[in-house]
Structure formats: C-alpha cells, structure tokens
Chain A
Amino acid sequence: MKARSFRYLIGEGFKGAWANRLMSLASVGVLVACMVIIGLALLISQNVSRALGKLEQQNVVMVYMKDYSWALYGDEVEKVAEGGDENGIKPDSYVIHNEEEAKALCDKIAALDNVESVEYISGEEGLESIKKNMLEGQEQYFAFLDEEFGNPLSASAKVTMKDMGAFTKTVEKIKAIDGVESIKAQNDLAERINSVKRGVLIAGIWIISILMIISLVVVSNTIRITMYSRKLEISIMKAVGATDAFVRIPFVVEGVLIGVVSAIIAEGLLYFCYRVATETISQTLGTTDIVRYSEMAFYLLGVFLVIGVLAGAIGSFIMIGKYLRREGSEFSAI
C-alpha cells in the first residue's frame, strides 16, 4: 500500500471516530471504567505485595548446630558416659567443634539457592540476647545451668530467604546439611503469605482477563455499529476495487484511537481516585506505607495503552474481517 493511501486512511479513521463520536464516547466510557478497575487491581496487588514483603523480611529461620552444648544436653550425653572430658563427652560425638567449623556451616547454608543472608550467632551471643529479654528472676535459671554445665545454647545461624514460595524446599535442604541439629521456622506464616500472594495473583489475573474481554467486546461492538453505518462506503470501496486492507485500516485506526483516548482518561481518573483513597486511608489508619501513584504512573499508563491499543486493534480487525468475509464483496444489493 502506498504511503499516501495510508495517510488518507488514517485520516479517514479519525474522521470516522469523530463522525460516530457519540458511540465512540460510549465505548470510551466503558473502556475507561474497565481500565480504572484493572489499575485499581494492580495498585491493590502492589500494596499487598509491599505489605507481605515486610512480613517476609521479618520471617527469619533459626538454624541450630550440633556443637558441644548439643552433645551436652542432647540424647548423646548418655551414650558417651565413659571417656571424654569432665562432662563425659567425646569430641567425635558432635559435628561442630569450633567457631571456624560453625562459620563453614554458615557458608554452606549461604551457598544454597534461595538464601538471602546468613548471620552467625555464637552460643554466648545467643545466651546474652536471651538474658536481655528475660524477666527478672528467670535469668537465674540460665545462670545456674551455665555455671553447672556451661552454656546450654548451641551455636546458631539466622537465615533469611529470598522467595517464600520455595520456603519448605529450602528448609529441607538446610536440614540435610551435616551439622544442622534443628530448625526453628515459622512455616505457618510462610504458607499464609504464600496463599495470600497466590490469591491476589489469581484474583488479579481473573479481573484483568474478564475486563480485557469486556473491553474487546465493547470496542468490537462500536466498530460493528460504525461499520454498518458505513455500509454504503464499504460497498462503493469494494465496487471500485479496494483491497480488504484498505477497507479495514480506517476502522482499526478508529478502534486504536478509542483505546488510546480511554487510556489517557483512565490514567487521569485513577490518579485522582487513588489520591483521594490513599489520603483517606492514611488519615484513618495512620499508615504512610502505601504505594504512591507516581511510582506506578508510567507502568499503569503503559498497561492502559497496551490494553486500549490491543482491544481497539484486535476488536476492529476481527469485526471488519468477519464483515468482509460474509458481506463485504456483495455490493450490488446492500
């Protein structure tokens, strides 16, 4: 197709949208509504992920090691009653013998795929931090144990994970490392976070898919009405030898135009609604940790434009294609 024909057809598309402005306006209205709902769904899911992200960061796994104190207080102590040191413990009855070995174990954990960070906590540090959190009087119990047998706490590692989705798997992997005695993990929280995330994702996909289909149907219908109102022009075009592409382009331009205009209006409207909503929420709940619109503005405009252009182009393309196949070449009787 020649460039001047293309320019002419784009102009025809604009003229078409203007000539059918009432109908175009109706579909812009519905498209804007769909886009605003999609935008809200995206903003809500973004806020939920941010809140969950905070929870995830707090969710650390404590890994306890098989060191001297484990042999001292664990079942092993009875098995090694004879020989060994003053407590009857042989060095081969525990795996981690010194800080170096404990740190090497931390490195092994850190080398796992899903591990974000590993912080080594010696038995002494562990005891100190427990003492700090104890009520007065309770700490005497630990002091007694410490004096009688030595520190009851084994060396440990504070592990944070990257992806809560692979939480259970990673815990299994850590457990399998030689020298790991036990793991204290908040499996419940991880699972709950995951299920909320999955729920938000599935709901988001459903909402977006349904609204995408609605957008497509709305634009198709507008184009269909435009098309029938321009039946005469189409019949003349076909009679004088217009190709299908020539007939189709103005309608596709019209559809895309409707989509683009809707995207711009939806962006402005959502900005306004979201600002009002977040101001109210932060005033009522006193929270300031809400995703700001400016962080998402370009992303949302991009999403709206993609939805608008796709709905406009695909909707009109399908409609006019259907028309051309069924009735398009019949021009002698319209």
Chain B
Amino acid sequence: MSENEIDIIEQTSADNKPVIEFKGVSKTYPSGTHALEDVNIRINKGEFAFVVGSSGAGKSTFMKLIMREEKANTGTIMVNGFNLTKMRRKSIPKLRRTMGIVFQDFRLIPKMNVFDNVAFAMHVVGANKREIRKEVAKALAKVGLGEKARSMPNELSGGEQQRVGLARALVNSPDLIIADEPTGNVDPNMSYEIVSLLTEINKRGTTVLMVTHDHNLVRDFKHRVIMLDSGRIVADNLGGDEQ
C-alpha cells in the first residue's frame, strides 16, 4: 500500500474524532534546542483554541509541527486525519489543502489586487474561473471586504490587509484555520474585529487554532487556552479563563 493510500485511509470523517492530536510529541532541533517535550493534546472539530506562552515557549514549533513544516522526533501527530509522523514530503500539499493559514505579516502579494490575492489560493488547487469568481466573492463578503476587491494591498489598512489574509485562508473551505499571531500587526480595535471574525467562522464549524500574545483578547473571548512554557503544556483551560 502506498503512503498516499495510508494517508487517505487514515483521514476520518467522524466529528467526534480530533482535528489535532499530539501523543507524546517531542521536538529537538539539530542545534540541540529542546523546543517541545512530551506534548499530549487533543483539539476536537469545531473548537476554538488560543495558544499562549512567552517567547521561546515552543508555540512556533507547535504550529510548525501541525503544518508539517517540521517533523517530530518522537510521538505521533494526527491532523485532519493525516498521520504526520508517517507522512512523506510529497503528501504535504494534501494536508495543507485541508487547512487555512493566517500569517502575522499578512503575506499579501503587493502587485496583485485583493481579488487576485484571494484567488491565488484557489489557482493552486486547480479551481476553474467560475468557481474562483464565486468563492472569492463569498470569502471577501464574509470578511466584509466585498467592496474592495479591486483595491491594491497598499491601499488598505493593516486590519483590512489581515482580513484579506483571512479571506484567502477561508476561500478553499478548510476544516482548520491556523492563525499565527494574526493580530500582531494591527491596532487593538482591529484585533477584536479579527478575532470576532474568526469566532464567526468557528461558529459555522471550522476549527480555529490561534497563537497570540494579547492577554485582553484571551480574556474577552471565552475560548480554550493552551499555555506553553519551556516546551511543555503547562495549562489547558477549556473554560477560556487565562491562566
């Protein structure tokens, strides 16, 4: 049986199955830095979880492992039904198509307008023009930028640019949104707007995992909080109160 077939068989459809599951995961970089140690966590479908922790706590490594940018040294990681520890390099695109990624620095292509920036993610998965027109318009409407489809990124505010980033992450209807400090480069008001949008998306069934340093956001939005420190999970508050 090929690696691809294993990946597909291991994909699950049942809602009660976890979207993300770490079992005894450790990651040490070749330089000797122990980034994560014996991490066990389960995030179910439809959950919204904040990942918090100081710099060097292991948040980035945690996210990189989920996106299969890095490979764990020990333990098992399952994401959207894919076994990441067994996954071969050429199967990574299949995993990534099941998730939408929002970056702190927006990552918009400056020479493309808002519409094309969002459409770009659909070209990659081979969508046709009609689908692209329909879905991009829908995604832009969701983030409240329907009127700005023809604007260039430099004509938008930071918050608007991040909303374009969010529309791009949403346009392929992913099961999971990974947001790496999406409010890091926007003003506080806009931060609330972004997290409200993510919460809206989450209410429609998409699992959201968001890294943040913003204590106010964590406090005001009552979501699950996973706290990392020195590569270990030191708190996992399902109620949403900050530790």
List, in ascending order, chain A residues with CB within 8 A of B67's CB.
239, 332
- The range of chain B's interface size is 20 to 34
Supply 22 A–B pairs (Cβ within 8 Å), ascending by A. Answer: A2-B126, A4-B128, A5-B123, A8-B123, A19-B111, A232-B107, A233-B120, A235-B107, A236-B107, A236-B109, A238-B96, A240-B120, A240-B124, A240-B125, A241-B96, A241-B172, A242-B124, A244-B90, A246-B124, A332-B60, A332-B64, A332-B103
B93: contacting residue among A8, A232, A233, A242, CB under 8 A:
A242
| B residues in contact with A291, CB < 8 Å | none
Partner of A240, one of B90, B111, B121: B121
Contact assessment for B69 and A332 in the assembled complex, using a CB-CB cutoff below 8 Å:
yes
Q: Tell me, in angstroms, the Cα distance from A133 to B126 when the chains sit together.
A: 85
Q: A332-B60, A332-B64 are in contact. Are A243 and B93 (CB under 8 A)?
A: yes
Interface string of B52-79 (1 = CB under 8 A from A): 0000000010011001110000000000
**B96 and A239: CB pair below 8 A?**
yes
- Please tell me if the beta carbons of A329 and B89 are within 8 angstroms of each other in the complex: yes
Q: In the docked arrangement, what's the CA distance between A332 and B109, Å?
A: 15
Task: Give A309 Cβ to nearest chain B Cβ, in Å.
Answer: 26
In chain B, what residue has the closest Cβ to A6?
Answer: B126
**Which residues of the partner chain A approach B100 to less than 8 Å between Cβ atoms?**
240
Q: B150 on the interface (CB 8 Å rule)?
A: no
Residues 230-271 of A contacting B (Cβ, < 8 Å): 232-233, 235-244, 246
| Number of A interface residues in the complex (CB < 8 A) | 23
Chain B hits for A243, CB < 8 A: 90, 93
Q: Which of A100-131 contact B (CB under 8 A)?
A: none
Q: Does B233 touch A at the CB level, under 8 Å?
A: no
Binding site for B on A (CB under 8 A): 1-2, 4-5, 8, 19, 232-233, 235-244, 246, 329-332
* Distance of B178 from chain A, by nearest CB (Å): 9
Report the bound CA distance from A160 to B69 in whole Å.
72
* Bound Cα distance A79, B120 (Å): 102
**Is B93 in contact with A239, judged by CB distance below 8 angstroms?**
no
Known: A242-B93, A243-B93. A329 touches B121 (CB 8 A): no
Q: Which chain B residue lies CB-closest to A331?
A: B69
B232 contacts chain A at the CB level, 8 A cutoff: no
Q: Distance (Å) between the CB of A289 and the closest chain B CB?
A: 57
B81-107 interface with A by 8 A CB criterion: 89-90, 92-97, 100-101, 103, 107
Q: Does B160 contact A (CB under 8 A)?
A: no
From B89, B97, B109, B111, contact of A241 by CB (8 A):
B97
> Quick check: is B21 within 8 A (CB to CB) of the other chain?
no
Known: A332-B60, A332-B64, A332-B67. A236 touches B120 (CB 8 A): yes
> What is the count of residue pairs linking A and B with beta-carbon distances less than 8 angstroms?
66
Contact residue among A2, A236, A240, A329 (Cβ-Cβ distance under 8 Å from B69): A329
> Among the interface residues A4, A19, A232, A240, which one has the most CB atoms of the partner chain B within 10 A?
A240
Q: Which residues of the other chain, B, contact A1 by a CB distance below 8 angstroms?
A: 126
Shortest distance between the CB of B118 and any CB in chain A (Å): 11
Contacts of A240 in B (CB 8 A): 96-97, 100-101, 120-121, 124-125, 168, 172
Chain A residues with CB under 8 Å of B242's CB are: none
Which residues of A sit under 8 angstroms from B125, Cβ to Cβ? 240-241
The complex places the Cα of A239 from the Cα of B111 at a distance, in Å, of: 19
CA distance in complex: A222, B89 (Å): 27
Which residues of B have CB within 8 Å of A332?
Answer: 60, 63-64, 67, 69, 103, 180
Inside 8 A of B121's CB, which chain A residues have their CB? Answer: 236, 240
Contact of B109 among A232, A238, A242, A329 (CB under 8 A): A232
CB-nearest residue of chain A to B63: A332
What are the residues of chain A within 8 A of B92 when measuring CB–CB?
Answer: 241, 329
**Chain B neighbourhood of A244, CB < 8 A:** 90
What sequence of 0s and 1s flags, for each residue 134-156 of chain B, a beta carbon within 8 Å of any chain A beta carbon?
00000000000000000000000
The residue from B64, B109, B168 contacting A233, defined by CB atoms under 8 A apart: B109
Task: Give chain A residues whose Cβ lies under 8 Å from the Cβ of B180.
Answer: 332
User: How far does the Cβ of B113 sit from chain A's closest Cβ, in whole Å?
Assistant: 14
C-beta contact mask, B13-28 vs A, less than 8 Å → 1, else 0?
A: 0000000000000000
CB distance from A299 to the nearest CB of B (A): 41
Closest to B124 in A: A242
Q: CA separation between A241 and B124, bound complex, in Å?
A: 7
- Top 9 closest pairs, chain A to chain B, by CB: A241-B97, A241-B96, A240-B121, A2-B126, A241-B93, A5-B126, A242-B124, A239-B101, A243-B93
* Inter-chain pairs besides A240-B101, A331-B101, 14 sampled, C-beta below 8 Å: A2-B126, A4-B128, A5-B126, A19-B111, A233-B109, A236-B120, A237-B120, A238-B96, A240-B96, A240-B172, A241-B93, A241-B124, A246-B124, A329-B89
How far is A242 from B120 in the complex, measured between Cα atoms in Å? 11
CA distance A239 to B120 in the complex (A): 11
Please indicate which of the listed interface residues B90, B103, B128 has the most CB atoms of chain A within 10 Å of its own CB.
Answer: B103
Residues of B within 8 A of A242 (CB): 93, 124
Cα distance, A235 to B107, chains bound together (Å): 9
B89 surroundings in chain A (CB, below 8 A): 329
Among residues of B, the one whose C-beta sits closest to the C-beta of A8 is B123
Enumerate chain A residues within 8 angstroms of B123, measured Cβ to Cβ: 5, 8
